[in-house]
Chain A
Amino acid sequence: MASQQKFSHKLQRTAGKIQQNRYMSAISNGLMSTLPFLIIGAFATLFSALAWEPYQNFIAPVKGMIGLASTMTTGIIAVYAVFFIAYRLAQTFDKDPLIPAATSLLSFLIVTPVQSFDTVRALPLQWLGAQGLFVAMIVGLLASRLYIWFVDRNWTIKMPDGVPPTVVKTFSGLIPAILVALLFVIVAGLFMQTSFGTIHDFIYTYLQVPLEGLGGSLGALIAAVLIMQVLWMFGIHGAIVTLAIVKPIWMSLDLTNLEAFQAGAPLPNIIGMAFWSLFCNYAPMLGFTLLLVFMAKSKQLRTIGKLGLPGSFFSIHEPLIFGIPVVLNPVLAIPFVMAPIICAVLGYFATTIGLLPAPIGIYPPFGTPIFALGFLEGSWKLAVAQLVLIPISMLIYYPFFRTLDKQALNKELEAQEKLEQEQTGGTTASPVIS
């Protein structure tokens, strides 16, 4: 037990280090901050691309206008991402985040090529959306960090006393901002000398595509879920720790799908945040909870089941994980780890054989109920699939649930016997029947 606790503490520390790493958390929280815009874009996409002919005919005159709301949100999500990631990073240094965030946005735009078409000069939307997301993450972190580094070295303009603080603030940011901008001008210039032309082409080809290939595979999903569930087994929030690493990749996969969906093209990716949430995050625990509520003979388990049931519909599982507990419970280790993996594999194959459509890649807002999420991801089929996985999860959990229930029931009976013995005087323990 002591060694188990030691291991648990070690794991806690490691998890903390990963999740609290300022650069990881800046990316993660920065991407989270884009959520309002992602949601606006997602709904605009749904409303403009809903494949139902009478509806399409009806909205035909305003379709372009509805599309604007998604083009200017999910379509240029890298612009929002670079700002918010830089903002979040500056916050971790306890610096006023506004100027470094804006400077990062400037840096991102500097390295994004302006293209000329006849009389029109334009920023290519191609690099402002999902395809520019990795550059946004890199530039967001780099520009913001450099800005702070310059500020910390005091490479700033000092104002005499008596100058209003707002003015002081503006000027103190001036030199760091100029230096950062200059650096990125040089970066942009250097890339122009290469065959890539821009940093976007380079990062997309050599970083984003390979990482997406890796992160978008079934193996990566299984590995991520495995780590998540094992962390939960040790009482650590597995999802936020694991997602700190895979979310950037999964989100860009999802956004690529969403762009394709809006363009009416086939969806290129299966795995992403949306897929994970759809198939791993609801049914496994919901199935287990239903077993507890309807089939447990142990009063304690039934009580916890009832307590956890409402949350389970919204993928909130903490009451169960700590109440039963799942944490450090050898009986539940196998189904708790395996159920979401089996659900993911089933979902993956159902998608590859064409039984289910790929999710359209709307970022799954935390707390969306099961079934509703399926619809949000583009199809009633996904909603139904979410429900179909519930009885499957119940089957996976059932044998382990029986053992758990027996253990809990025995404990309850023992406690009750003890209580009865105490009530009848305690000494007359011999169960002799004359």
Chain B
Amino acid sequence: MKQITLVCAAGMSTSMLVQKMLKAAQSQNLEVEIRATSESSFKEYADKTDILLIGPQVGYLEADFKAKYESKGIKVSVINTMDYGMMNGEKVLADALAL
């Protein structure tokens, strides 16, 4: 099962997106685990993460996260700003799984 972790400043706005992504996953019968957390506590979830999605408002963390976690086999990507704004869970999920 794929595990996706979303991070932003406090994990609040990403948790809204997580809800939408879970709905999209359910309707497509996809087995994924999706969670949101603050960027500072991502470390605790690193072992349980296959795909790390970064909220665009903390997009400046991308280089740092890539350097730290890509070698551990975690795929790192910044969420598309428009999809983030529209809370387009389906698209974000599809993009993440296509990484």
Contacts and interface: CB of A to CB of B under 8 A. Distances in A.
Interface of A: 12-13, 15-16, 19-20, 25, 29, 32, 91, 232, 235-237, 239-240, 304, 307, 311, 314, 316-325, 327, 366-367
Given A235-B57, A235-B59, A316-B16, A322 B82 contact: yes
Contacts of B8: 237, 318
Contacts of B97: none
Contacts of A327: 81
A322 B56 contact: yes
A25 B40 contact: yes
Interface size, B (range): 20 to 34
Given A12-B59, A19-B60, A327-B81, 4 more contacts: A237-B58, A323-B86, A325-B85, A366-B10
B86 A240 contact: no
Interface of B: 8-10, 12-13, 16, 40, 43, 55-61, 63-64, 81-82, 84-87
A231 to B, nearest CB: 9
Question: Could you tell me the dominant secondary structure of chain A's interface residues?
Answer: helix
B28 to A, nearest CB: 21
A366 B12 CA distance: 9
Contacts, number: 79
Question: Could you tell me the dominant secondary structure of chain B's interface residues?
Answer: helix
Nearest to B55: A318
Contacts of A236: 57-60
A19 B43 CA distance: 17
A235 B9 contact: no
A16 B87 contact: no
B12 A319 contact: no
A25 to B, nearest CB: 7
B60 A323 contact: no
B16 A319 contact: yes
Nearest to A307: B87
A20 B54 CA distance: 15
Contacts of B61: 16, 20
Nearest to B43: A91
A322 B16 CA distance: 14
